[in-house]
Amino acid sequence: MKNYTYVYVLRNWLLISLSFVLFIVTTPIFAQNINNGANLFIADGVNVFTGGNLTNTGFLQNNGSFSLSGDWTNLAIYQGSGSVSLIGGNQLFSNLTQPVAQLIIDGEGIKFIPGKLFITNELDFRLGVVLINDSDTLMMGTNCIVKNGSELSYVDGALTSQGGGYKFYPIGINGKYYPVELVDIRGFEPTIEVEAVENLPVVITSMPVDINREIYWTRKTISGTFENSPITLGLDLQGENPLQWVIASSDNLLDEFLVTENVTIRSENELTIINSVLPISANYFVLGLLPGEAPRPYFFSTTLSPNAMNADNRFVKVFGDSTGPSDFYFQVFNRWGQSVYETQSFISMSSQGWDGRQNGNVLPSGVYPYSIKYKESSGKLIQQTGFITIVQ
Domain boundaries, the chain: 1-153, 299-390
Question: How does pLDDT run across 284-333, given as a tens digit for each residue?
Answer: 999 998 876 555 566 677 788 887 777 777 888 887 655 567 788 889 99
Task: Give which of 222, 236, 224, 217 is closest to 190, Cα–Cα.
Answer: 224
pLDDT > 70? residue 175: yes
Cα(13)–Cα(362) distance, integer angstroms: 51
For the domain bounded by 299-390, which CATH number is listed? 2.60.40
Count of other CB atoms within 10 angstroms of residue 55: 18
Classify residue 244 by its DSSP letter. G
Residues 339 and 358: beta-carbon distance below 8 Å: no
What does each C-alpha distance from 184 to 228, 234, 310 come to in angstroms? 8, 17, 13
Question: How does pLDDT run across 132-161, given as a tens digit for each residue?
Answer: 999 999 999 999 999 999 999 999 999 999
Band (375; pLDDT cuts 50, 70, 90):
confident
Query: What is the pLDDT at residue 2?
Result: 32
State the average pLDDT for the chain: 84
pLDDT > 70? residue 92: yes
DSSP 166-200: EEEE-EEETTEE--EEEEEEBSSS-EEEEEEEE-P
Record the pTM: 0.74
Query: What is the pLDDT at residue 13?
Result: 36
